[in-house]
A and B are shown apart, each in its own frame.
Chain A
Amino acid sequence: MAGDAKPRLAVFKLASCDGCQLQMLNLEDELLEIAGAVDICYFLEARSQVLDGPYDVALVEGSVTTEHDVERVRDIRRKSKMLITIGACASAGGIQALRNMHNVDEYTRSIYANPSYIHTLSQSTPVAAHVTVDFAINGCPISKEQLLEVLTALLIGRAPQLPTYSVCVECKRKGNVCLLVARGIACIGPITQAGCGALCPGFNRGCFGCYGPMESPNPDSLCQTLTVRGIPRAETLRLLNGFTGWAEEFRSAAEKLEKASI
C-alpha cells in the first residue's frame, strides 16, 4: 500500500454481537498509531463520521442472515479493494448458523410475539458464500493481536502470518497439560486452528473450536477417540456444532457422528 495517501479503512457489521469490532478498540496501545496510519472512513462502533467508498480495506464482521445483508455485502465488495472477514460469524456463519440445522420459522415463532415482522433467511451463511473474500481472521471473538498483525502486514506490504495449525501446538509451547490425555476432558483443540493462544485449555476448559477447523483436520478420528473415552455423543456434537459449526469439516463430522450407531 505505497503512495502518499493513507489507506482508507472501513469496518462493517452484519449479523453479529460487535465483539470483533470491539477487539479493534481494545488495541489500546496501538489505536492512535492505527488512526494515524489509515483513514478510518466507516466504523460506526467508534465514530459517527461516515465517508463514502471506495475503500482500500473493508473489515466485515457478522454473518449474512437477511436479504438486506446480501445486498449490503455485495455493495461492500463493490466498494472495497480488499475484503477481510473478522470473526467466526463472518468467516463461518457464527453461532446463529445453528438455525441452519433446524427450522427457522419454528425458532421465530417461539421467540417473537409477532413473528410476521421478522424477515430472515432460512440460513446464516459466511460472507464468502456471497462474495469473494480476500482474507479471513477467525475466532469468537478475533484476537486483537491477530488483527494488529493483519493491519501491520497490509501497511508494510507483506503477507500476514497467522497460524493455521492446531491449538495443540499453542498448548504445548505454553506448557499446558493436555486436558484430554491427563483428565479425559472433551477438547477439540487437535482439529481447531490456533490463534487464541490456547486460551480455554489454559483455564482447564476444553477447546470448543471457535477458530474453526485447522489446516488439515481429521475430525472423524478425534470423534472416535472421544467416543471410546466415554464422552457422551451429545457433548461432542455440542463442541462441533458451536461457533463455527457451519464450517464444512465440523459440519460433516457432526452429521456423521449423529448418524453413527451408538
Chain B
Amino acid sequence: MVGSTAPRVSATVLLAKSVLQRVLDNLHEGGFQLIGPTVRDGAVILDAIRNISELPIGWSLEQKAGSSRLLRTHATDYFGCTVGPHSWKRYLFPPHLDLLIAHRNGEGWTFEPPLDDSPPLAFIGVRSCDLHAIAIQDDVFVNGAVRDPHYARRRERAFILVANCNTAATTCFCTSMKTGPRAPSGFDLALTELPESFVLEIGSEAGSNALAGVDWQPASAFDQGRVAQIMQRTERQIQRQATTSDLPQLLYDRIDHPYWEAIAARCLSCGNCTLVCPTCFCSTVEEHSDLTGASTRRTRVWDSCFILDFSHVHSGNSRPTIKSRYRQWMTHKLAAWIDQFGRSGCVGCGRCIAWCPVGIDITEELSALRSLGAR
C-alpha cells in the first residue's frame, strides 16, 4: 500500500528501513527539530540530527560498572546501541535555562521574561526506560501541585518516536523496574527494528500524520510475531536484576547501617549519577548581576544532592558527609520516591552504573544492603 493515506492510530505497519528518512523529513517539514542518538567522543549522545546516516549505525555498545565502550561492528542496525550518558531531560529540563532578566527602573524593577522561540522537538529513538523516565518527570514538573511552564511547553509540543530495544547492555535492568524493553504506550510512533525493516506502531494522530506520503504496508501476524520474539530475546539478554518487592521499607530499615560507610569510602560525591539519571530533577537558581547592580539575569541550572551547598540550610549542612549524601540519593531514588510520587524513581536504564567514574553499582549496593539485614 503506497501511502497517500496515512495509517490509522493504533495500526501496526511495516516500513522499509530507508523509508525512515521520509518520516524524519515529514517531521522536519512539520517544524520539528529532530533530536536523536549519534556517535560523538566515544559514546552515543543525543543531539540534533537530520539524516538517518547520523544514527549510530555500525556500532555496538559494551558497558559495565564505570566503563562504556563503543565498538565498530558490521551490524546495520539503526538503533542497536542502548542509552548513552545523555537523556531526554537535557531537552525537556535543560541544564541551563534563563528564567528572567530584570532591569533596575528608578525605585523598582522591570522584569523581562526570556524569549523562548525554540522549535518543537521530535525525539527519535526513545527507549522504553527513558519513556518511563519522561512520565516520571511529568509527575514532578506538570502533574503535581506546581506546574513548571518551561518543562510543560517543551513536553506538550514534543513528538516521541520510540525504539523498542532489540538488544540490551549489561548495565540494563528495565525488566526489574517494569519499564521495558518494549514501550506499551505514551508515544507517537514506536518502532521495532528487524534486519531489513521496521515494524511501526502508530500511537497518535501526530504519529499517523508523520507517515503521510510514506510507503508502508500493514504488519502481518508473522511480522508481529517476529517483534514478540525480538522482545523475548532482549528480555533474556538482561542479566542484571534488582529486587523491588521489599521497597521502600528495606532501605528505611537500614538507614543507620554501617554499610553506608563502605559505599562512602568509594563514592566520589562528584554528582555524575544524578546528572546522567533521566529522572533526577533537582535544580538551583543563580543570579548574575552586572557590575553596578542595574540589571540581573536569573538562570536555572542542574543541581545535585551530592553537592554540599544543596543541603546547606540555616545554621549548617544537613548532609555534611559523603555517606549521608549517597544514602539520600539512593534512598530517595528507590524508596522515598515511592512515598512521594507513588512509583520508583528508578527506571533501570543503568546510566548511573556505567557513568560512575568508580563504578558504584546501585543494584549491587541494594543487594548488599538487603543481605546485611536491618539496622
Partner-B contacts on A (CB < 8 A): 30, 33-34, 37, 148-149, 151-152, 155-156, 161, 164-166, 168-169, 172-178, 180-184, 189-191, 204, 214-218, 221-222, 224-225, 229
Contacts and interface: CB of A to CB of B under 8 A. Distances in A.
Contact of A37 (B271, B289, B292, B302): B292
B357 A181 contact: yes
Given A173-B95, A182-B68, A190-B270, A165 B358 contact: no
B246 interface: no
B85 A177 contact: yes
Contacts of B356: 181
A173 B269 contact: no
A168 B291 contact: no
Given A172-B276, A182-B43, A190 B268 contact: yes
Given A165-B304, A177-B42, A204-B41, A33 B291 contact: yes
A189 B42 CA distance: 18
The 6 A-B pairs of least Cβ separation, nearest first, read: A172-B275, A190-B270, A173-B95, A177-B41, A182-B42, A168-B270
A225 B358 contact: yes
Contact of B307 (A30, A169, A180, A217): A169
Contacts of B157: none
A198 to B, nearest CB: 12
B314 to A, nearest CB: 15
B45 interface: yes
B291 A169 contact: no
12 contacts: A37-B291, A148-B291, A152-B290, A155-B293, A164-B308, A165-B307, A172-B272, A181-B356, A190-B272, A215-B308, A218-B322, A221-B358
B69 interface: yes
Given A168-B271, A181-B67, A221-B267, A151 B301 contact: no
B268 to A, nearest CB: 4
Given A168-B275, A172-B275, A178-B85, A218 B42 contact: no
B54 interface: no
A216 B304 contact: no
B120 interface: no
A188 B290 CA distance: 33
Given A34-B291, A178-B85, A173 B96 contact: yes
B295 to A, nearest CB: 12
B299 to A, nearest CB: 11
B268 A181 contact: no
Nearest to A225: B358
Nearest to B358: A225
B268 A191 contact: yes
Interface in B99-153: none
Nearest to A166: B270
A178 B357 contact: yes
A3 to B, nearest CB: 15
Contact of B272 (A178, A184, A216, A224): A178
A178 B286 CA distance: 25
A225 B66 contact: yes
A161 B312 CA distance: 14
Best-buried of A149, A173, A176, A222 by chain B (most CB within 10 Å): A173
Given A172-B276, A181-B354, A218-B322, A165 B291 contact: no
Given A165-B309, A177-B85, A222-B357, A182 B69 contact: yes
A173 B275 contact: yes
Best-buried of B41, B267, B354 by chain A (most CB within 10 Å): B41
Contact of A168 (B40, B289, B357): B357
Nearest to B307: A165
A175 B40 CA distance: 11
Interface in B303-349: 304, 306-309, 322
A201 to B, nearest CB: 10
Contacts of A33: 290-292
A33 B294 CA distance: 12
A177 B272 contact: no
